[in-house]
Amino acid sequence: MNLLLVDDEADLVSALAERLSLRGIEADFATDGDAAADKVRARAYDVAVLDMKMPGLSGLDLKQKLQRLRPGLRFIFMTGHGSEEDFRAGSSEAAGYLVKPVRIEDLIAAVNQALAAGPG
Amino acid sequence: MGLFDRLRPAFWNGAVKGGPYRSLFNYRRLWRLSVALLAAVSVTPLCIMTVIDYGVTKRAVTQENLHRTAITTSNTRRTLSYFLDERLAALNFAAREESYAALARPERLAGLLADLKAAFGGFMDLGVIDDAGRQAAYVGPYDLLGIDYSSQEWFKRTVESGYCISDVFLGFRNVPHLVVSVRANRPEGGFFVLRAAVDTQRINDILAGLDLSGSGDAFLVNHAGILQTMSRSHGSVLERLALPVPARAERTEVYGTGDGENSLIIGYAYLEGTPLVLMVVKRQAELMQPWYALRLDLVGFLGGSVLAILVVILGVATFMVEKIFVADQTRVTTLHQMEHTNRMASIGRLAAGVAHEINNPLAVINEQAGLLKDLAVLAKAPPPPERLSGIVDTILASVERAGAITKRLLSFARHQDVHIEPVNVGKAAGEVLGFLAKEAEYRRIAVAVEAPDDLPAIESDRGKIQQILLNLVNNAFQAMDDGGRLVLRVFAPDPDCVAISVADNGCGIPAADVKRIFEPFFSTKKKKGGTGLGLSITYGLVQELGGDLAVESELGKGSTFTVTLPLVKGAACEPSARG
Query: Confidence class of residue B568 from pLDDT cuts 50, 70 and 90?
Result: confident
Q: Is the pLDDT of residue B436 over 50?
A: yes
Q: Do A15 and B444 touch (CB under 8 A)?
A: no
Annotated domain spans of chain A: 2-109
Any CB–CB contact under 8 A between B444 and chain A?
yes
* A11 neighbourhood in chain B, CB within 8 Å: 364, 367-368, 394, 398
The answer to whether residues B124 and B196 touch, using CB atoms and an 8 Å cutoff, is yes
pLDDT digits (tens, 9 = 90+) for B381-390: 888 999 999 9
B350/B336 Cα distance (integer angstroms): 21
* DSSP structure string for B68-120: HHHHHHHHHHHHHHHHHHHHHHHHHHHHHHS-HHHHHSHHHHHHHHHHHHHHT
B194/B159 Cα distance (integer angstroms): 11
Region B457-486: mean pLDDT is 88
pLDDT digits (tens, 9 = 90+) for B15-49: 554 444 444 567 888 899 999 999 999 999 999 99
Interface with B, mutate which of A5, A6, A7, A12 (most B CBs under 10 A): A12
Cα distance from A81 to chain B (closest Cα, Å)? 4
pLDDT attached to residue A82:
61
Give the whole-number percent of chain B exceeding pLDDT 90.
38
Region B118-140: mean pLDDT is 91
Region B1-8: mean pLDDT is 70
Low-confidence ranges of chain A (pLDDT < 50): none
Q: Identify the closest residue of chain B to A59 by CA–CA distance.
A: B442
Closest listed residue to residue B87, CA positions, set B141, B166, B151: B166
A19/A27 Cα distance (integer angstroms): 9
Interface with A, mutate which of B360, B375, B396, B439 (most A CBs under 10 A): B360
B280/B219 Cα distance (integer angstroms): 7
Give the whole-number percent of chain B exceeding pLDDT 70.
92
Cα distance from A68 to chain B (closest Cα, Å)? 23
Task: Render the burial of B33-58: b for 16+ CB within 10 Å, e for the rest.
Answer: ebbeebbeebbeeeeeebeeebeeee
The answer to whether residues B195 and B142 touch, using CB atoms and an 8 Å cutoff, is no
Q: Which amino acid is at A68?
A: R
Q: Is the pLDDT of residue B539 over 90?
A: no
Q: Is the pLDDT of residue B193 over 50?
A: yes
Q: Is the pLDDT of residue B576 over 50?
A: no
Q: Do B374 and A101 touch (CB under 8 A)?
A: no
B350/B551 Cα distance (integer angstroms): 25
Q: Is the pLDDT of residue B2 over 90?
A: no
**Closest partner residue to B359 among A16, A18, A101, by Cβ?**
A101
The answer to whether residues B325 and B16 touch, using CB atoms and an 8 Å cutoff, is no
Task: Indicate the length of chain B as a whole number.
Answer: 579
pTM exceeds 0.90 for this model:
no
Query: Confidence class of residue B329 from pLDDT cuts 50, 70 and 90?
Result: confident
- In angstroms, the Cα distances linking A13 to A61, A102, B238, B260, B527 are 19, 12, 145, 116, 40
pLDDT attached to residue B508:
87
More confident of the two residues A56 and B461: B461
pLDDT attached to residue B358:
85
pLDDT attached to residue B528:
60
**Closest partner residue to A11 among B352, B357, B364, by Cβ?**
B364
Residue B76: phi and psi, rounded to 5, are -65, -40
pLDDT attached to residue B29:
86
- In angstroms, the Cα distances linking B415 to A102, B130, B340, B463 are 35, 134, 11, 5
Fold assignment, B98-202: Beta-Lactamase (3.30.450)
B445 class by beta-carbon count within 10 Å (0-12 exposed, 13-18 middle, 19+ buried): buried
- Range with the largest mean pLDDT of B45-49, B512-516, B536-540, B571-575: B45-49
Query: Confidence class of residue B423 from pLDDT cuts 50, 70 and 90?
Result: confident
Q: Identify the closest residue of chain B to A98 by CA–CA distance.
A: B363
Residue B510: phi and psi, rounded to 5, are -60, 140
Q: Do A101 and B366 touch (CB under 8 A)?
A: yes
The answer to whether residues B416 and B456 touch, using CB atoms and an 8 Å cutoff, is no
Residue B157: phi and psi, rounded to 5, are -70, -35
pLDDT attached to residue B19:
46
SS3 (DSSP) at B15 = coil
- Range with the largest mean pLDDT of B109-118, B334-343, B470-479, B569-578: B109-118
- Residues 382-441 (B) with a CB less than 8 A from some CB of A: 391, 394, 398, 438, 441
The answer to whether residues B484 and B504 touch, using CB atoms and an 8 Å cutoff, is yes
Which DSSP symbol is given to B192? E
B555/B83 Cα distance (integer angstroms): 107
Query: Confidence class of residue B195 from pLDDT cuts 50, 70 and 90?
Result: very high
Closest listed residue to residue B191, CA positions, set B182, B200, B179, B199: B182
Closest listed residue to residue A5, CA positions, set A113, A102, A117: A102
* A19 neighbourhood in chain B, CB within 8 Å: 367, 370-371, 374
- Residues 341-370 (B) with a CB less than 8 A from some CB of A: 352, 355-357, 359-360, 362-368, 370
B195/B152 Cα distance (integer angstroms): 13
Residues of A with CB under 8 A from a CB of B: 9, 11-12, 15-16, 18-19, 22-23, 53-56, 58, 78-83, 99-102, 104
Q: Identify the closest residue of chain A to B370 by CA–CA distance.
A: A19
A66 class by beta-carbon count within 10 Å (0-12 exposed, 13-18 middle, 19+ buried): buried
Q: Is the pLDDT of residue B81 over 90?
A: yes
Interface with A, mutate which of B354, B356, B380 (most A CBs under 10 A): B356
Q: Is the pLDDT of residue B269 over 90?
A: yes
B548/B566 Cα distance (integer angstroms): 9
Query: Which residue pairs, CB below 8 angstroms and at least 24 apart, start in B294-301?
Result: B294/B57, B294/B61, B295/B54, B295/B57, B295/B58, B298/B50, B298/B53, B298/B54, B298/B57, B301/B50
The answer to whether residues B127 and B142 touch, using CB atoms and an 8 Å cutoff, is no
Query: Confidence class of residue B577 from pLDDT cuts 50, 70 and 90?
Result: very low
B434/B404 Cα distance (integer angstroms): 10
CATH number assigned to the domain covering B415-579: 3.30.565.10
Q: Is the pLDDT of residue B137 over 70?
A: yes
Q: Do A100 and B374 touch (CB under 8 A)?
A: no
Cα distance from A40 to chain B (closest Cα, Å)? 23
Three-state helix/strand/coil letters over A6-64 = ECCCHHHHHHHHHHHHHCCCEEEEECCHHHHHHHHHHCCCCEEEEECCCCCCCHHHHHH
Closest listed residue to residue B38, CA positions, set B321, B300, B304: B321
ipTM for this prediction: 0.91
Q: Which CATH architecture has domain A2-109?
A: 3-Layer(aba) Sandwich (3.40)
B386 class by beta-carbon count within 10 Å (0-12 exposed, 13-18 middle, 19+ buried): exposed
pLDDT attached to residue B308:
95
Q: Which amino acid is at B243?
A: L
pLDDT digits (tens, 9 = 90+) for B271-311: 988 999 999 998 888 878 888 888 899 899 999 999 999 99
pLDDT attached to residue B145:
87
Region B333-353: mean pLDDT is 75
Region B571-577: mean pLDDT is 53
The answer to whether residues A79 and A90 touch, using CB atoms and an 8 Å cutoff, is yes
Q: Do A11 and B368 touch (CB under 8 A)?
A: yes
Half-sphere exposure of B141 (CA within 13 A, CB side): 9
> Kind and range of the H or E element at B461?
strand B458-461
B499 - beta bridge partners? B491, B564
Q: Do B368 and A22 touch (CB under 8 A)?
A: no
* A54 neighbourhood in chain B, CB within 8 Å: 442
Q: Which amino acid is at B73?
A: T
Q: How many CB pairs under 8 A join A and B?
A: 72
Region B191-202: mean pLDDT is 91
- In angstroms, the Cα distances linking A99 to A11, A80, A87, B164, B205 are 17, 6, 9, 144, 133
* B379 neighbourhood in chain A, CB within 8 Å: 22
Q: Is the pLDDT of residue B435 over 70?
A: yes
Q: Do A22 and B374 touch (CB under 8 A)?
A: yes
Region B437-444: mean pLDDT is 81
pLDDT digits (tens, 9 = 90+) for B213-256: 777 889 999 999 999 998 888 888 889 988 888 999 989 999 98
Q: Is the pLDDT of residue B572 over 80?
A: no
Region B409-418: mean pLDDT is 68
B157/B164 Cα distance (integer angstroms): 6
Q: Is the pLDDT of residue B82 over 80?
A: yes
pLDDT attached to residue B215:
76
- Cα B425 to the center of its chain, rounded Å: 51
Q: Identify the closest residue of chain A to B483 by CA–CA distance.
A: A56
